Structure 1
Amino acid sequence: MEFVIITGMSGAGKTGALHVLEDIGYYCVDNLPSSLLSTLYRLCLKSEDDSMKRVAVVVDVRGNEKFEEMCSQIEHFKMHYENVKVLFFDAMTDRLVVRYKETRRRHPLSEKLKDGSVLSAVELERELLLPIKRTADYNIDTTYMSNKQLRERIMSMFMEDTSQSITLTFMSFGFKYGIPLEADLIMDVRCLPNPFYIPELKHLTGLDKDVRDYVLESEETTEFLKRLLSMLDFSVPLYLKEGKSELVVGIGCTGGKHRSVTIAMQLNDHFREKGYRCVIQHRDIDR
């Protein structure tokens, strides 16, 4: 049985992720008190219904009055039950505040604060959830992620064969829009030839063959890729040995459209051929 606990910051995309998992066949429960995790797990384990062998639940501040107990209960549950993964959602504070203002909803912790402000509630929630974030198997930052990108990320992570114990996520991005906070490794490819300065390539992206050919045909890129792949071929098995569930590799160029997309695709193809489960995301390609 697979059991996925979705948790994290309010407004960061937990409900959207749960809907995606439901669409691909998971039995889903929203707003489950952490004290009921063991009960649900045992019921699903004993069930003869195959649809309850892939389970996803959202556990967050809404259904838990004692937040310290929620954190410890999740950690205890993960340690004592098999095939449990924790998926943590986060976003930058200012973005979470904007999302709440846009929806005109109250933050679950607002009533517990004297000023009742969304900003104070978000900061308190972040502090309370820090222990869970540190031990989560997957960390996804949705600050710059569209609903479409979120759906693609979740589907890529959970639709494929789950027999492998690590997921490699290759994320292209533009440094001008900020470094992805969930990245474990950052690769700067701004040293490579830039198609932006070629008129016929400027308005294309790394998804177009002409752009990829321009980037990959240079001697600099050939040597860069050789050294980068050698380093990753050496280090990925070490992360796997340490029990890491997801390795997020950020590949950044200036705008996140040409060089970073090209290199991310090369890394994705290389590790797929080696049998790893891979996810590719182009964060800034549509900006």
Structure 2
Amino acid sequence: MTRVESSPAAAENRSGTTPVEVVIVTGLSGAGRSTAARVLEDLGYYVADNLPPELIGRMVELGQGTEPPTRKFAMVMDVRSRFFTGNLSAVTEHLRSAGLRTRILFLEASDDVLIRRYGFARRRHPLQSESADGTLTAGIAAERARLSTVKTAADLVIDTTALSIHQLHRKLEEAYGGDAPSALQLTIQSFGFKYGVPLDADMVLDLRFLPNPHWVPELREQTGQDAAVSEYVLSRPGAQDYLSTCRHLVDLTTEGYRQEGKRYMTVAVGCTGGKHRSVAVAEELGDLLGAGAKNGSGDVIRVVHRDLGRE
């Protein structure tokens, strides 16, 4: 039996602090457990795959020792786990009695959709070899029968038969995302083209069309973070129009990302060396978008300078 009564999390919960959450993610193979795990991870859950029930309490205790403490955990369980050899109701009841907010998410889909997904993935069903005739259909039927009681005990059942990945993403965010299900992490990164374009850039802005402060003697040793350089760059013809257009593009793109369930975006702002123009514009764009704090959409925006100081 899972032991959690003496854990720090249980003591904190009884004292009235924010409860620790445990989400058990299970369901039919091919119904979307891996997608659910990725979504929950993006929502701030610590995700463990096929962790034995006896170690749940220990995982929670370890999470309380981190800084800041981890308060949201998700465990992905499939039919091969020892989780299904015991009593699920007893495990969840024990966790809840210790003050942990425990919920079960069950994912399912129709047989024909599961068969089609396995065909695309070219994977073998975990119960296929145990079935009488060794067919995929028999393996799915065996799993469905074995998980019937688990489905009954679930707090939330999602049928992914007719759902796209993005639709499933939104359903999970609505169920587990709390007050800011659509928050996006936006990074504005300055860089120098001579050092290479950032590989993780989702959008690249090229500032090399603006006059280079490097050729102004009194500005050469300064950077785009200095007021004199910033004023020089932002006052060049076309700079403000370009900045306004970039902000509009970023706003349009981030809104599309939220609709598609994407949670991370990197805007790379480049000039020749990553010292003057790109730094000044990245700082200004960050200010316009609300860097350093959540904006009106709940997004978290930060500005970083990859190549500043390399010259």
Matched, 1:34 2:34: no
Query: Residue 9 and residue 106 in structure 1: after superposition, are their counterparts in 2 closer, same or farther (change >3 A)?
Result: same
2:35 is aligned to 16
**Is the Cα–Cα contact under 8 Å of residues 131 and 142 in structure 2 kept in the other structure?**
no
1:32 partner SS:
coil
**Is the Cα–Cα contact under 8 Å of residues 15 and 30 in structure 1 kept in the other structure?**
no
Q: Give the partner amino acid of 2:43.
A: I
Distance in 1 (CA, whole Å) between partners of 2:33 and 2:85 is: 20
Contiguous gaps of at least 5 residues in structure 1: 163-287
**Is the Cα–Cα contact under 8 Å of residues 104 and 154 in structure 2 kept in the other structure?**
yes
Query: Residue 160 and residue 96 in structure 1: after superposition, are their counterparts in 2 closer, same or farther (change >3 A)?
Result: same
Query: Residue 75 and residue 118 in structure 1: after superposition, are their counterparts in 2 closer, same or farther (change >3 A)?
Result: farther
**Is the Cα–Cα contact under 8 Å of residues 132 and 138 in structure 2 kept in the other structure?**
no
Distance in 1 (CA, whole Å) between partners of 2:92 and 2:69 is: 26
Distance in 2 (CA, whole Å) between partners of 1:19 and 1:27 is: 10
Query: Residue 57 and residue 101 in structure 1: after superposition, are their counterparts in 2 closer, same or farther (change >3 A)?
Result: same
Contiguous gaps of at least 5 residues in structure 2: 1-19, 181-311
Residue 2 of structure 1, CA deviation: 1.1
Residue 51 of structure 1, CA deviation: 5.4
Distance in 2 (CA, whole Å) between partners of 1:35 and 1:70 is: 12
2:125 partner SS:
coil
Residue 36 of structure 1, CA deviation: 2.8
**Is the Cα–Cα contact under 8 Å of residues 29 and 57 in structure 1 kept in the other structure?**
yes
Q: Give the partner amino acid of 1:148.
A: H
Question: Which of 70, 86, 104 pairs up with 1:69?
Answer: 86
Question: Which of 138, 141, 157 pairs up with 1:139?
Answer: 157
**1:42-61 alignment to 2 at 5 Å?**
42-44=61-63, 46-50=64-68, 52-61=70-79
Matched, 1:97 2:115: yes
1:116 partner SS:
coil
Question: Which of 44, 49, 68 pairs up with 1:25?
Answer: 44
Residue 114 of structure 1, CA deviation: 3.4
Query: Residue 70 and residue 99 in structure 1: after superposition, are their counterparts in 2 closer, same or farther (change >3 A)?
Result: farther
1:281 is aligned to none
Structure number with larger C-alpha Rg: 2
Residue 76 of structure 1, CA deviation: 4.5
Query: Residue 67 and residue 54 in structure 1: after superposition, are their counterparts in 2 closer, same or farther (change >3 A)?
Result: closer
Deviation per CA, 1:119-171: give whole Å up to 9, x if none: 11111111111111111111111000000101111112222249xxxxxxxxx
Per the normalisation by structure 2, the TM-score is: 0.47
Residue 40 of structure 1, CA deviation: 2.3
Higher relative contact order (CA 8 A, sep 6+): 1
Q: Give the partner amino acid of 1:14.
A: R
Query: Residue 78 and residue 141 in structure 1: after superposition, are their counterparts in 2 closer, same or farther (change >3 A)?
Result: farther
Distance in 1 (CA, whole Å) between partners of 2:91 and 2:113 is: 27
Question: Which of 141, 145, 157 pairs up with 1:127?
Answer: 145
**Is the Cα–Cα contact under 8 Å of residues 11 and 100 in structure 1 kept in the other structure?**
yes
Distance in 1 (CA, whole Å) between partners of 2:94 and 2:61 is: 12
Residue 73 of structure 1, CA deviation: 5.4
Aligned-pair identity (%) = 37
**Is the Cα–Cα contact under 8 Å of residues 17 and 151 in structure 1 kept in the other structure?**
yes
**1:1-12 alignment to 2 at 5 Å?**
1-12=20-31
Distance in 1 (CA, whole Å) between partners of 2:161 and 2:69 is: 32
CA RMSD of aligned residues (A): 2.2
| Structure that is richer in helix per residue | 1
**Is the Cα–Cα contact under 8 Å of residues 75 and 132 in structure 1 kept in the other structure?**
no
Query: Residue 39 and residue 116 in structure 1: after superposition, are their counterparts in 2 closer, same or farther (change >3 A)?
Result: farther
Q: Give the partner amino acid of 2:86.
A: E
2:129 is aligned to 111
Q: Give the partner amino acid of 2:176.
A: F
Query: Residue 51 and residue 57 in structure 1: after superposition, are their counterparts in 2 closer, same or farther (change >3 A)?
Result: farther
Distance in 1 (CA, whole Å) between partners of 2:110 and 2:60 is: 32
